[in-house]
Amino acid sequence: AQTVTQSQPEMSVQEAETVTLSCTYDTSESDYYLFWYKQPPSRQMILVIRQEAYKQQNATENRFSVNFQKAAKSFSLKISDSQLGDAAMYFCAYRSQLGGTSYGKLTFGQGTILTVHP
Amino acid sequence: DGGITQSPKYLFRKEGQNVTLSCEQNLNHDAMYWYRQDPGQGLRLIYYSQIVNDFQKGDIAEGYSVSREKKESFPLTVTSAQKNPTAFYLCASIATAANYGYTFGSGTRLTVV
């Protein structure tokens, strides 16, 4: 079974600064997908970024980028130019290859609470 | 607008009582999922369903039951056998298992009183 570990229960950053959230995972599969989700106080889950394991290029979405190290099984999220609206719980998640017998199940890490200071 | 509707937003359960959480989607998605969220533990999978009249246990299915009689609906029953049901419950769906565009509901907060 796959596991996802987020070793930072809480992180903080000054507005306009950069912060990196860590995530490691364990799997024996070679083809899979990784996600970062944001959960603000409203508790609505919002997709931040997605990475396909077969792609060597790190995914980027505006101020959000990842550092995907497949051999090390590491998937960190970098938030640049942090904004007050970035304050939320962030979850790293894993899913097996598309169409596999796992039926699209997501395995989540424990979450990291990000605080942004003005 | 298409989406997932979870109801109620807040639910209180007495000891020994069964309660049912509603999850309805109008996205024509095939696959649906129930997750439980506890502080410090992230989200854990309770049950999932790929098609109507079929569902599988997730990692923490004990004390829970589901049904999938209609494509749009995937209700979760928290039975009296679930000893620690106080948690936040999230429902999610995707078009097919071969897809990764998940849609999440807004959740139900269940509290035992």
Distance of alpha carbon A105 from alpha carbon B58, whole angstroms: 9
A contact test, residue of B34, B37, B60 with most A CBs within 10 A: B37
- What residues in B contact A104, CB-CB < 8 Å? 31, 33, 48, 50, 94, 96-100
- Residue A99's pLDDT is 65
The chain A residue lying nearest B103, using CA atoms, is: A45
In this prediction, residue B1 has a pLDDT band, given cuts at 50, 70 and 90, of: low
Q: Kindly state the percentage of chain B with pLDDT values over 70.
A: 97
- Convert the pLDDT of each residue in A19-46 to its tens digit: 999 999 999 998 899 999 999 999 999 9
- B58: nearest Cα among B48, B66, B49, B50: B48
In this prediction, residue A98 has a pLDDT band, given cuts at 50, 70 and 90, of: low
Distance of alpha carbon B13 from alpha carbon B21, whole angstroms: 11
- Convert the pLDDT of each residue in A38-91 to its tens digit: 999 999 999 999 999 999 899 999 999 999 999 999 999 999 999 999 999 999
B9 contacts chain A (CB < 8 A)? no
The whole-angstrom distance between residue B29's C-alpha and the CA centroid of its chain comes to 15
In this prediction, residue B113 has a pLDDT band, given cuts at 50, 70 and 90, of: confident
Q: Do B97 and A107 touch (CB under 8 A)?
A: no
| Better-predicted residue by pLDDT, B56 or B99 | B56
A103 contacts chain B (CB < 8 A)? yes
Alpha-carbon separation of residue B105 from A61, B6, B80 (angstroms): 23, 6, 24
A106 contacts chain B (CB < 8 A)? yes
Q: Do A106 and B98 touch (CB under 8 A)?
A: no
Check pLDDT > 80 for residue B73. Answer: yes
Question: What's the CA angle centered on B30, arms A29 and B96, to 5 degrees?
Answer: 35
- Convert the pLDDT of each residue in A99-115 to its tens digit: 666 778 999 999 999 99
Q: Do B42 and A91 touch (CB under 8 A)?
A: yes
- What residues in A contact B92, CB-CB < 8 Å? 45, 106
Tokens matching residue B94: 């995707």
Q: Do B45 and A105 touch (CB under 8 A)?
A: yes
In this prediction, residue A8 has a pLDDT band, given cuts at 50, 70 and 90, of: very high
- Convert the pLDDT of each residue in B15-67 to its tens digit: 889 999 999 999 999 999 999 999 878 899 999 999 999 999 999 999 999 99
B44 contacts chain A (CB < 8 A)? yes
Q: Do A45 and B31 touch (CB under 8 A)?
A: no
The SS3 of residue B100 is coil
Question: What's the CA angle centered on A3, arms B52 and A72, to 5 degrees?
Answer: 130
Contact A5, A107 (CB under 8 A): no
Considering only the beta carbons, identify the residue of A45, A99, A100 that sits closest to B90: A45
Contact B20, B8 (CB under 8 A): no
